[in-house]
Structures are given as structure tokens and as C-alpha cells.
Structure 1
Amino acid sequence: MKHNPDRIYATPQAQVSDFAFNEDVVKVFPDMIKRSVPGYPTIVENIGVLAARFAQPNTRLYDLGASLGAVTQALRRHVRTDGCRVLAVDNSAAMVERCREYLHAQDSMYQELLPVEVLEADILALEFQPTSLVAMNFTLQFVAREERQPLLARIHQALLPGGALILSEKLRFTDAAEHELLTDLHIDFKRANGYSELEIAQKRSALENVMRPDSLEEHRERLLAAGFSRVVPWFQCLNFASLIALP
């Protein structure tokens, strides 16, 4: 499918609206995420690889905040465990519609893929079924802070022994100098991918009220408080990281 270039913030806006996963973002999302998140393709593909280790027969695999279904596609490429099904959940109608189109295209390219259901829903209201694998790829940072631990506790309750939560997030850093350095390097990354100073500044303004990153220490403490026994960072590139949380 054709991917449009991200030019959402390329012209000056008198009032920058809060970022939303609307139709405009959906149209450019593959380009936006690739140019904005260092290591994104590596994270996505390896979530599929990791999932193949934790997926258990006849269980549901969750992709929470599925957006266009990149993680779901990776799960379907790599998991060969009998009887597994994927539930891809997102609260954006525009994302869900396009996700279904992408997954239909994947069906035509590969055979014997895991069955998948794409659901438009709020993950905070989701009733989790027993699961061996939950993926949250840059999703928790958009959830209100007071809702994060209760959500993780519910995920932990649904996870079967031997399962895993894979959590990818943008990080903030408690050391001011470290935070400034990695923030500046991330801006350099976006410049290198063709974003202008105007685009970078306006995107930052759009996100500041809707995306609130945590530190690695906060993630670890919250996951342990939610009942997880071990938290293992498996990937970091600049201020973006992915963790494996074990029940």
C-alpha cells in the first residue's frame, strides 16, 4: 500500500492542536513513526521473534494500541504455536479501519497466518481473557498516569505462567544532563530524517499534553507493583526502549 509522506506540521499553525490519531495522522503514520522513533522497525520485528518464545498453545495474544497493526503483522509472521489467536485493539476508528486493510493485504501475501480480530475499543475498559503474550508498543505513554498501574495489574492477572508483557515506551531520564543529551540526539535523529525545525517544534507542542513518558525506574517500579516478578530491558535506542515483564 502507498505510504504518504508526513507533512502534517510542515506549515506554520496559529494554534497547534493536541496530537490525535485521526485520519490525517493515519494517512502518514508509517512515514511518521519511522522518521520519529529510532529503532522502530527493529523493535516491531523482534516483538514477533520474542513472542514466538512466550506464546502458548490455544491462547490469545494481545496487541494493545495496535495502530496500523505493525506488531500484529510481526506476531503473525513469527508465531507458529498451535491455536493462538491475535486480538488487535485500538480506540481510533481511522486506525482500526486502515489496520484491517493492512492485515487483509498480509493475508494475501502469506499462508497459514494466525487468525486475528481487530477491535475498536478503549483498552482501559477491555475484559482480558487468559493470555500468554501482551504487546504494548508505545501505548502506555498515552494513558493517564493514574490509570497505568491498574491497567498493568489487570494485564498481569490475565497472563498465564510462562507468558510475558512486552512494553515499548519513550523514556525520560531523572538525570538532567542525560535527559538533555538524549533529547538533543533524538532531535538530531529527526533532522537527519528530513524534519524541519518548524515541524519538530510544532510536533513537540502537539504532544506535550497527550504523551507523558516515564523513566525506566518508574516503569520497573510500576510493573513490580502491578505484580510482575521480573522486568528485563531488551532494547534501547536513544530515549526509546522496550522491556519484557514476566508474571
Structure 2
Amino acid sequence: MDAYADPDAVARYAERPPRLVPGFADLQRMCTQLLAESAPTDARVLVLGAGGGLELRTFAQAQPHWRFDGVDPSDAMLALAARTLGAHAHRAQLHHGYIDIAPDGPFDAAACLLTLHFVPLHERVPTLAALHRRLRPGAPLVVAHMSFDQHDGARARWLHRYADFAVSSGIAPEQAEHGRAAVAEHVHILSPAQDEALLREAGFSRVESFYQGLGFRGWIALA
């Protein structure tokens, strides 16, 4: 599901997360707060799935001495991230590709927001483990993505709730239904228990849930 190959989708990207993800702005603020609990004031921060630059901008505005490495597989979205960062762009190095192209670090903190649900299931633990290897011992990672029960009709319920929230945010019903069907077909969603287990399997400890917005969940964990 490569929506970001479409220049119009890229141009309108900043409009979409607040209309699809409940509490999107507060999610970014919470992530900033949680990373800052243990990251130094001059932290080097790795952001996986940095295209668009929305979380990079939030982090940079809140923490004027943090430096960033952002990784994303879309050139167009990385270009948008640079524009979104504006005056903060000089504090970020943007890398085209996947986690294997990220610098070795060590990083003081990392974030992966609204990204892991696009990673195929067989690549989820290797991706998390690659993040873990790039972090200093005890450094925080925040993740947030779609995560809900997959059994006994729960998957269908949560996907319909996703579409209903989009409609309540002003998205046309036919577009919301198209989005629901695309998520159902292409997005790799696990249950919260499975997501937490994969973080631990990848080497993270003290895995704590800090956010739920309908079918989206967020965790903080330590390397």
C-alpha cells in the first residue's frame, strides 16, 4: 500500500493523521515527554518512519538541543519532512531506506510512530532488534501503531471504528470505507499482547503501555 508514491497524497499528508488517529497531537507530546524522562538534553534521537516530519518537528520544538537521524523508505516523504522541520532542518540527518541504513549510533532515544504496522510480521522482531542494537543501554524507545484483538469479531469491530472515527473527523464516508478496506488488506496488525511480546523478544525491557486511541496503542520500553 504505497500511498506516498502519489504526489497529492504526500502534499496532503499533514492533514491525515489528526483525522485518523485519536489524540494525535497529544500522542506526539506524550512521546516527547517520555523520551525526555531519561534522554539527555543534547540527546541523539533515531526516528524510524520519519517521513512527513511531524514527530520530528514536535520533538525539535520541545527540545532545542536534540539532534535527529530520521529513516524512511519514501524519498518524497523525506523531502516533506525536511520542509516540515523548517528552521530545525539543520539538526536532522534524513536517510532513505529501512532500519538497516540507519547509523549505528549509539542513540540516546528512539521513536517509531504509526510505522510498525506496515512492517511485515516476519520482519517485526528483526526491525525492533535493529533499533535495540542502535540504542545505549537503558535508552527509551516509544512506539505507537494499530494494535487490537484479532479474534472473535474484534478485528472487524475495530476496523469499523477506525472508519467511523474518520467520518466523524470530516472524511467522506466512501473514502473512509476505502481506507478501512485498504487497512484490512495491507496493514499488519497484532494484538496488544503480541506487540508487547515482540518488544521483549527484541531485547527491550520495562515495556509499558501509555496510550490508547480506539484501535491505536502506544508503548515505551527501555533498551
**Residues 66, 38 of structure 1: CA spacing in aligned structure 2 closer, same or farther, 3 A cutoff?**
same
Q: State which structure, 1 or 2, has the greater radius of gyration over its C-alpha atoms.
A: 1
The correspondence of residues 47-58 of structure 1 with structure 2, limited to 5 A, is 47-56=31-40
1:91 deviates by 1.2
Letter in 2 for 1:161: P
Structure 1: tracts of 5 or more residues without a match: 1-17, 108-112
Structure 2: tracts of 5 or more residues without a match: none
Match of 2:3 in 1: 20
Match of 1:6 in 2: none
Matched, 1:69 2:49: no
Aligned pair count reads: 222
Match of 2:79 in 1: 97
CA distance in 2, matches of 1:162, 1:68: 28
Matched, 1:154 2:127: no
Q: Deviations over 1:201-240 (max 9, x none)?
A: 2223333443211111111111111111221000111111
Match of 1:213 in 2: 189
Match of 1:192 in 2: 168
Q: Deviations over 1:147-186 (max 9, x none)?
A: 1101111211222123111000111214535444443333
Percent sequence identity over aligned pairs = 26
Match of 1:88 in 2: 70
Q: Work out which of the residue numbers 92, 97, 104 in structure 2 matches 1:121.
A: 97
Please tell me whether the aligned partners of residues 19 and 207 of structure 1 are also in contact (alpha carbons under 8 angstroms). Answer: no
* TM-score (norm. length: structure 1): 0.81
**Residues 165, 88 of structure 1: CA spacing in aligned structure 2 closer, same or farther, 3 A cutoff?**
same
Letter in 2 for 1:20: A
**Residues 37, 25 of structure 1: CA spacing in aligned structure 2 closer, same or farther, 3 A cutoff?**
same
Matched, 1:203 2:203: no
Structure in which a larger fraction of residues adopt helix? 2
Please tell me whether the aligned partners of residues 163 and 176 of structure 2 are also in contact (alpha carbons under 8 angstroms). Answer: yes
Letter in 2 for 1:189: F
- State the secondary structure of the residue aligned to 2:108: strand
Matched, 1:32 2:24: no
Q: Deviations over 1:101-151 (max 9, x none)?
A: 1112x44xxxxx982222222224434310111100011111111111011
Please tell me whether the aligned partners of residues 68 and 98 of structure 1 are also in contact (alpha carbons under 8 angstroms). Answer: yes
CA distance in 2, matches of 1:200, 1:51: 33
Letter in 2 for 1:27: A
- State the secondary structure of the residue aligned to 1:161: coil
* TM-score (norm. length: structure 2): 0.89
Please tell me whether the aligned partners of residues 163 and 180 of structure 2 are also in contact (alpha carbons under 8 angstroms). Answer: no
Letter in 2 for 1:159: L
**Residues 36, 233 of structure 1: CA spacing in aligned structure 2 closer, same or farther, 3 A cutoff?**
same
Q: CA RMSD in A?
A: 2.2
Comparing 144-153 with 170-179, greater Cα deviation is found at 170-179
Matched, 1:44 2:28: yes
- State the secondary structure of the residue aligned to 1:194: coil
Letter in 1 for 2:125: Q
CA distance in 2, matches of 1:134, 1:167: 9
Match of 1:7 in 2: none
Please tell me whether the aligned partners of residues 128 and 155 of structure 1 are also in contact (alpha carbons under 8 angstroms). Answer: no
